[in-house]
Amino acid sequence: MSDLPRKAITRTAKLAALPLGLAGRATWGLGKRIVGESADLVGRELQQRTAEQLFKVLGELKGGAMKFGQAMSVFESALPEELAGPYRAALTKLQDAAPPMPTRTVHAVLVERLGDDWRDLFQKFDDSPSAAASIGQVHRAVWRDGREVAVKVQYPGAGEALVSDLNQLARFARLLGPLVPGIDVKPLVTELKERVCEELDYELEAEAQQAHAEEFADDPDVLVPAVVHRSEQVLVTEWMDGTPMSEVISDGTPEQRDRAGQLLARFLFSGPARTGLLHADPHPGNFRLLTDGSDDPEDWRLGVLDFGTVDRLPGGLPSPIGEALRMALDGEAEAVHARLCAEGFVKDTVELDPEEVLEYLLPIIEPARVAEFSFSRGWLRNQAARLADPRSPAHQLGKRLNLPPSYLLIHRVTLSTIGVLCQLGATVRLRHELESWLPGFTAAG
């Protein structure tokens, strides 16, 4: 790959190959079964090949295609295990890695954005990327003052690629369904499209990251690297070591999983209250567990990266969320229904039984009922099955609810965070975080 593929026809053809390739491999699988191979064996091999192609195409294209893959990766916990297994490894790769941008392209961007003498800004610059994401890749370097830094360089043509990819993915949404059973792809793509302009603006990202870095500067639980230098397509921040969340998910000890989960929940709910901003891209590639050599989990911290997508919430998370959650836990069906109507979750033209609404909500909010809750893939799969089964009363009621635009990003972040907690299999004191940070959750909140 010489550069980020930018021609719409080329990218469209690659994206089209995903559902077409799935159909082709299904035919191949049928042929294998005809000649007598085990259906289970063929099925596993078919899913593995599909997963490998998914990573190859989305990773090579970067842009919106990879962003879509990253967004999907946090929902794999909701899939049945026989389907989730083959996709898990391939999608998790998209959280931390992708084929790199050529060195000459990186240098060209640095010359354009930092000037011909850009090397004078650094004591050392590693041409090999340490990480790759949907619209840029990160290089490790040493700033002129001796600080270790991360240099994020945006792919040339990333904006055009993002818009093109997401437009095409929207058209292919129905065909892409078989790649991720149980996930409604179209709303995910639509919401991603609305965020592309902000994510391309590294100036906005720098402002959001610096606001968090200053607020959490002395925090014992969360570390956000400070911004060192910013320009339109290059962002330089302090370097942060640590164990990637994806490695904690795959190989972490129970203590690491629990601590990572607790801190993730703490950051999710405390961030808006403390900064007026919600970190809106909670896939594992954006988090690190920092142990700093300590054996005591209480000393471990959460490192947070990538503030390209944030929701601006000047008053913190909306208090009606906390109020409705508290009322639901107290069994106040009428009050919950009234609050949901007032916020637009139930349209004026829709009549719902308050008791049925409460019955719909209670299993979902179970983690907030108890002092600590053990998240698991099994629990999430049960929730997903209950809500996705067309025969289920929960499914029928869910179709009649509405998600107001102002809650779209909050909803996705919450679901994504729950997905990560279930991937971790973490036992978390979620109720404690809600009581501490969610407006309206306590009676006096």
How many helices (H) and strands (E) in the chain? 19, 13
Determine contact, residues 161/9, Cβ cutoff 8 Å. Answer: no
Distance CA(279)–CA(426), nearest Å, equals 21
Task: Determine the Cα angle at 398 with ends 396 and 399, to 5°.
Answer: 70
Backbone dihedral region for residue 331 (phi beyond 0: left; psi -120 to 50: alpha; all else: beta): left
Q: Which of 268, 344, 277 is nearest to 316 (CA)?
A: 277
**Strands lying side by side in the sheet with 148-154:** 122-132, 136-143, 148-154, 234-238, 227-230
Among candidate residues 336, 277, 268, 330, the one with its CA nearest the CA of residue 307: 277
Strands 227-230 and 234-238: antiparallel
**Placement of tokens 């790759």 in the chain:** 132
Neighbours of 135 (CB within 10 A): 25
Supply the pTM of this predicted model: 0.76
Burial of 137 per CB tally in 10 Å (0-12, 13-18, 19+): buried
Cα separation of 445 and 441, whole Å? 6
Task: With beta carbons less than 8 A apart as the criterion, state whether 339 and 324 touch.
Answer: yes
Buried b (16+ CB within 10 A) or exposed e, 195-207: bbebbbbbebbbb
What pLDDT score does 195 carry?
67
Identify the pLDDT of residue 282.
87
The structure tokens listed for 106 are 């990186």
Question: What is the b/e burial string over 411-420, where b = at least 16 CB atoms within 10 angstroms of the residue's CB?
Answer: ebbbebbbbb
How far is residue 168's CA from residue 174's CA, in Å, rounded to a whole number? 11
- What number of other Cβ atoms are within 10 A of residue 365's Cβ? 14
**Helix 354-361 × helix 393-400 angle, to 10°:** 110
pLDDT at 27: 31
The pLDDT of residue 206 is 96
Cα gap 180→74, rounded to integer Å: 12
Low-confidence ranges of the chain (pLDDT < 50): 1-2, 4-6, 9, 11, 15, 18-47, 50, 59, 61-65, 74-75, 83, 87, 95-97, 175, 178-183, 445
Q: Tell the residue number behind the tokens 């192609």, with chain if given.
A: 53
Do 401 and 346 touch, CB atoms closer than 8 A?
yes
